[in-house]
Amino acid sequence: MGLFWKRKSGDQFVSLKLNEPLPEKTGTKAVETAKTNGSDSGKPLAKADAAPFVPPPKADAPTVEPVPTGGGPTPIPTDPSAPKIPSIEPRPQVQGREADTLGAEVRQAKPVASVPSRSPFATSVLGLNLSMEELQAQEAALEQEFSARFRRAVSATRESLSERLDTVFQGLKEIDENLLDELEEALIAADIGVATTQHILETVRRGVARKQINDLDALKAAIKDELLKILRQSEQQGVASETSVAANVSPYVMMIVGVNGVGKTTTIGKLAQRIKAEGNDVLICAADTFRAAASDQLAIWAQRTGVPLIQQKQGTDPAAVLFDALKASKARGSDVLIVDTAGRLHNKSNLMAELEKMKRVASREVEGAPHETLLVVDAVTGQNGLEQARQFLKVAGVTGIVLTKLDGTAKGGIAVAIAKELGLPIRYAGIGEKVDDLVVFDPELYVNGLFE
């Protein structure tokens, strides 16, 4: 599965500084020695043939003798009205059978708790306490778990697409136009889109004409190959990985856009938590000053994840909030700055102009900022989400998509439609409600999950 965030520089190696030379000790009278003509004896080197440094003799310390003061110690005055402290008398020694009985009672009354080991080598976040075989087994288990979770997330889409094809193909000996019509309905129902569906059907018809596709398995393989090709081609545009930005550019600015209700605030909280968990310093900017509850919701996520939040009162210019966040991020040396924006309807031109102003402010403060502009799209909205992406692409310069609620809809094919019609990569996908259910979108796992 790998790392969630791969841009952290210097995390490949942990330097213990065991091989570095010790720092040279310097003083007021330094004497250097060097080997002469292969002999092991050294000769002092001094400036202008100066005499070697000889430490001065130590002075004898003065002898300190006790001074008699007269009487003994002054007794502590006592207050007659103060309560007397009861004296503690020693308990009589018990021997024989009574001592054994008393010892048993004490052991039962005060059991000795085992102290856990505090050895730093008992466990290790870096896996230093594990062998290579154990690390490989652990990684394989994580891969299997991630694949299973992804398959469960797209199960609703798989039922409307793959299982429908299984039902239609029963009893048929060859692929005919009726089957292709059923295939077209299934693809459109999965929100893959009309244009993308027609493109896939043309590929299938060519394969049938060339006798390359003659059964259901071959048909599914052809569809899988075409879907995977579409998703791979979309990664050539936009920003497919955070590693495309130079490591010396800091902070990495991510601007999150999208309409209200698509899960934008939740996505920001999950992004901050997952990036921070891998050792990065993260800062959140609450630039959504239009909606009253936006900053409050983001503050809850910031407190929950332990990530600092930069916010101002409602109605403040979002560009001014972003300016303060950029200054604070550079001052503290943050690795990532995640910027929340107002939930804009894609038909509001004045709100789009506000986005352009924020981008200008960011580019003045940090080279190339914002480095990513992620559009959060609700998979349940289907083709309406595709229209939102078109409008945001015109003004906001969207570089990638975050597809939320992928596990709660049978219309997960919208990912393919966005990739085909807009040429935008799907960067992240929400496959559940937990923090770690925001995952890096894997085209191969996605396509395999639709047909397995």
Residue type, 141: A
- Residue 251: asked if its preceding bond is cis (omega within 30°), the reply is yes
The reported pLDDT for the residue numbered 3 is 79
The reported pLDDT for the residue numbered 274 is 93
Question: Which residues lie closer than 8 Å to 227 by C-beta, 6 or more apart?
Answer: 200, 416, 447, 450
Q: Which residue has the tokens 């004497």?
A: 31
Burial class (CB in 10 A: 0-12, 13-18, 19+), 262: buried
Distance from first CA to last CA of the chain, Å, rounded?
A: 20
Two tokens, residue 117: 């080991």
The reported pLDDT for the residue numbered 37 is 45
Strands 32-35 and 426-430: unpaired
- 254 and 336 Cβ atoms separated by less than 8 Å: yes
- 281 and 306 Cβ atoms separated by less than 8 Å: no
pTM above 0.95, yes or no: no
- 149 and 432 Cβ atoms separated by less than 8 Å: yes
Two tokens, residue 122: 């008992």
- 213 and 219 Cβ atoms separated by less than 8 Å: yes
CA–CA distance, 205 with 177 (Å, rounded to integer): 9
Give SS3 for 399.
coil
The reported pLDDT for the residue numbered 62 is 53
| Closest-CA residue to 179 (of 232, 127, 220, 133) | 220
Two tokens, residue 341: 């924006």
The reported pLDDT for the residue numbered 388 is 78
| Mean pLDDT of each 10-residue bin along the chain, 452 residues long | 70 44 48 42 44 55 52 53 51 50 44 40 47 69 72 84 76 78 87 89 90 86 93 92 90 93 92 94 94 87 94 92 96 96 70 85 94 92 81 83 86 87 92 87 90 75
Give SS3 for 193.
coil
Q: Which residue has the tokens 């000053």?
A: 289
